[in-house]
Chains A and B, each alone.
Chain A
C-alpha cells in the first residue's frame, strides 16, 4: 500500500512538471489508512481463558499453534539453510560452481556458498586431495563450527579416482576427515551434486535426535 501510494504521488509530481503534453490523471493521492493500533474498534481485549477438559491448555490459549519437538525444529532449520564453503580443489570445483549458477541454481534449496569456514555448515571436497593439500583441508574442517557435514564430490575425493596409484595423492579424503555423503562421477553432474544435498538433508532429519555431532 505504501509503495503504490508513493508511486502515484511521484507520477503526480512529474505531471505538474510537464503538464502540457500528458493527459489528465487522478491527482489526489488516496487517503492514508488509519494505523491498526489507533482504530477505535480494535481496542485490545484480554478475556480470561476457562480451561476445558480433554484439550491441552496451550491449544486453547493459542489456537492454531503446533507442538513439535525442538530437535525437529532445529533439524528442519539446519537442513533448510545449508551453507557450503566455497572450496574448490580441482576439476570438480567447476561442476560445483556450475551447480551454484543459475542453470541449476542450488539457492532454491537454501544452499548458499560461503567463503569462510567459520560460518559454513557443509564442506564440499571437490577434487583431488593431495598429501600437500591435506593439512589445509583438515584445518579448514576443524575451523568449521558444529554441526558440520562433509560431501566428498567425485572419484578423486572418494578414493583417489584415476590418480589413486600416484603416491602424492591421498586415497580418499575420508582418511583425514569424516565424510557423510559420497558423490560418484568424474566429475559428477550437477544433478548428482543436488542429489547429494537432498540425501544430506534427509540424513540431517534422520539424525536429528543427536542434535549435532561432537567434533
Chain B
C-alpha cells in the first residue's frame, strides 16, 4: 500500500465528500458573485480568486453553513517571477473536516492585498511574515511591523524569499572585523 492510497482511502473513510469532485459544487455555490476558477490539486481542491474579491470570498467560505472553513492552516506566497506573486491560503474546516486551497495572483507592480486578519486572527503573524519575505503589502493590517526581520534596521526593501534575492557570498577570510590585519601579519 502506498502513501497515496493510504491518504485517499483515509479521506474517503473520514468524510466521503472531501475530494475535489464533491467539494467544488459547495464552494461554487458559496462564492456567489465571485469570479472563481477551480483547479485539481494533488490532495486538495485549489480555487483561484481575483485579489479584489479575496477577503469577501474568504469570509463567505468561513461563514457558509456547509463548509465552515474556520481554521487557517497556512498563509504564504509563491514568487512566480514574471507572472507575479501568488498568495496561497490553506483552509481547513474543523466541524466538516474539509480542506481547500485558495490562491490569488498579484501582479509584480501592485503587490497589495487586503488583510485576512478580519477573517481569522491566525493570519496576523503569517501575513507579517509574507509581507516582509515577498514584499506584499497587506492593507489595514493591525500590526504591520516586520516579524522575522530586524526592527531596528530598515530592511523594508529586502525580501529574502523572492527569487531575485541573491545568496550571500561565502567569506573565506575571517577576523577582519576584529581589527586583525592579515597583511601586516604576513609582512612581519
A residues with a Cβ closer than 8 A to B are: 131-132, 159-160, 164-169, 171-172, 174-176, 178
B186 adjacent to chain A (CB < 8 Å): no
In the docked arrangement, what's the CA distance between A132 and B171, Å?
Answer: 19
In the docked arrangement, what's the CA distance between A9 and B170, Å?
Answer: 74
- Contact: B167 with A165, CB < 8 Å? yes
Given A168-B160, A174-B174, A174-B175, A132-B168 contact (CB < 8 Å): no
- Contact: A167 with B167, CB < 8 Å? yes
Question: Contacts of B174 on A, CB cut-off 8 Å?
Answer: 159, 171-172, 174-175
Encode contact with A along B170-183: 1 for CB under 8 Å, 0 otherwise: 11001101100000
Select B167's contact among A131, A166, A172, A176, beta carbons within 8 Å.
Answer: A166
- Contact: B168 with A164, CB < 8 Å? yes
In the docked arrangement, what's the CA distance between A178 and B160, Å?
Answer: 29
Q: Knowing that A166-B160, A171-B170 touch, tell me 5 more A-B residue pairs with CB under 8 angstroms.
A: A159-B174, A167-B167, A168-B149, A174-B178, A176-B177
Q: How many residues of B contact A (CB 8 A)?
A: 12
Segment 98-150 of B: residues with Cβ below 8 Å from A: 149-150
Question: Contacts of A176 on B, CB cut-off 8 Å?
Answer: 177
- Contact: B150 with A132, CB < 8 Å? yes
Encode contact with A along B151-188: 1 for CB under 8 Å, 0 otherwise: 00000000010000011101100110110000000000
B residues with a Cβ closer than 8 A to A are: 149-150, 160, 166-168, 170-171, 174-175, 177-178
Given A131-B150, A132-B150, A167-B168 contact (CB < 8 Å): yes
- Contact: B177 with A171, CB < 8 Å? no
Looking at the assembled complex, report how far the CB atom of B150 sits from the nearest CB atom of chain A, in whole angstroms: 5
- Contact: A164 with B175, CB < 8 Å? no
- Contact: A165 with B177, CB < 8 Å? no
- Contact: B168 with A166, CB < 8 Å? yes
Question: Contacts of B167 on A, CB cut-off 8 Å?
Answer: 165-167
In the docked arrangement, what's the CA distance between A166 and B149, Å?
Answer: 13
Question: Contacts of B175 on A, CB cut-off 8 Å?
Answer: 174-175
Question: Contacts of A166 on B, CB cut-off 8 Å?
Answer: 160, 167-168
Question: Contacts of A175 on B, CB cut-off 8 Å?
Answer: 174-175, 177
Given A131-B150, A176-B177, A171-B171 contact (CB < 8 Å): yes
Question: Contacts of A167 on B, CB cut-off 8 Å?
Answer: 160, 166-168
Looking at the assembled complex, report how far the CB atom of A129 sits from the nearest CB atom of chain B, in whole angstroms: 13
Question: Contacts of A172 on B, CB cut-off 8 Å?
Answer: 174
Some 5 contacts from A to B, beta carbons below 8 A apart, are: A132-B149, A159-B174, A171-B168, A171-B170, A171-B171
Looking at the assembled complex, report how far the CB atom of A136 sits from the nearest CB atom of chain B, in whole angstroms: 11
